[in-house]
Amino acid sequence: MIPTSVLILAAGSAIFWMYPGKNRPEYAVSAFGNPVMEIRIADDVFMAEAVSSAEKRMLGLSGREEMCHSCAMLFIFPEPARYSFWMKDMKFNLDIVWISGASVKSIEKNVPFVEGEREVVRPDAPIDKVLEFNAGVSDEIGLKIGDEIHF
């Protein structure tokens, strides 16, 4: 017969290993099923939904009513290229940050969601990541070309 104290200890250990806590990594997922990761730019911290599949990248933020002020969406591409972005089915303006490695290469500010107004944007050079913020955030945090993004 196994003593009760051993069973309680074993059950407590199983619960500790099954659920994330202070000493366990947490794997956050957005309401849209995308992994969420912390991104740091100087002293500013954002929670970014990361999308890397072609389907998720194509959908992006389309159809959403809004995005929280400290939120972002990170698009991750398999190789550097000049990827085009469009504002199809968007409902709010964005700042679009073109990134190569961890370095900001270009910033498109206040890209409108209004149909027919600059719907497609494209970087000047190959990039492997794109970060989208609410319009105005890049100015608020003083983001500039050459800044490093910490993933």
Which domains does the chain carry? 25-140 (2.60.120.1140)
First vs last C-alpha separation in the chain? 51
Distance between CA atoms of residues 10 and 21, nearest Å = 17
Residue 9 backbone zone (phi > 0: left; psi -120 to 50: alpha; other: beta): alpha
Residue 66 structure tokens = 């809004």
pTM above 0.75, yes or no: yes
pLDDT tens by residue, 25-73: 456 999 999 999 999 999 999 999 999 999 999 999 999 999 999 999 9
- The radius of gyration of the chain's CA atoms, rounded to the nearest angstrom, is 20
Which of the residue ranges 3-12, 80-89, 107-116, 128-137 would you say has the lowest mean pLDDT?
A: 3-12
Which pLDDT belongs to residue 12? 36
Q: Does position 18 have pLDDT exceeding 90, yes or no?
A: no
Cα atoms in the 13 Å half-sphere on the side-chain side of 134: 13
| Segment (H or E) for 140 | helix 137-140
Which pLDDT belongs to residue 14? 32
pLDDT tens by residue, 122-150: 999 999 999 999 999 999 999 999 999 99
